[in-house]
């Protein structure tokens, strides 16, 4: 297996278009990404729920477990760590996490892909 490759930053939307504690889906270089804005910052993970196979994580319930920012799948309620993409309910299950930033008031995402 080779190391993860990093693609270029893609502008998604102005920061003020993102509501706190709600997710949105964005198509970034052909990949559906779930983007979340919380009080702690911005997070980007794949929108594909690995348990159900549906693109729904952006519609999940944003919350936390202790200090860990999370999103719960709207279908089967598995909870994912927004910082790492790891499922907190099913060991070994995870979603890809992507880099995200706010640059000059615009939200930008950079995909991480295995390559």
- Tell me the domains of the chain and their CATH numbers: 20-97 (2.102.10.10)
Q: Flag whether pLDDT at 110 surpasses 60.
A: yes
Per-residue pLDDT, 6? 57
| Closest to 96 (Cα-Cα) out of 57, 42, 40 | 57
Instruction: Judge if pTM exceeds 0.75.
Output: yes
Length of the chain: 115
28-32 long-range contacts, CB within 8 A, separation 24+: 28/98, 28/109, 28/111, 29/111, 31/111
Look at the block and give the residue holding tokens 């719960």. 72
Q: Flag whether pLDDT at 81 surpasses 90.
A: yes
Q: Flag whether pLDDT at 104 surpasses 50.
A: yes
């Amino acid at each position: 297996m080779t190391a993860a490759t990093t693609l270029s930053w893609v502008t998604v939307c102005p920061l003020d278009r993102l509501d706190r504690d709600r997710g949105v889906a964005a198509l970034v270089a052909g990949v559906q990404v779930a983007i979340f804005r919380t009080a702690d910052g911005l997070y980007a993970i794949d929108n594909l729920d690995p348990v159900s196979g549906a693109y729904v994580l952006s519609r999940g319930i944003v919350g936390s477990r202790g200090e860990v920012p999370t999103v719960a799948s709207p279908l089967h309620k598995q909870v994912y760590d927004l910082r790492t993409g790891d499922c907190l309910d099913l060991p070994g299950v995870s979603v890809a996490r992507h880099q995200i930033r706010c640059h000059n008031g615009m939200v930008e995402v950079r995909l991480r892909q295995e390559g």
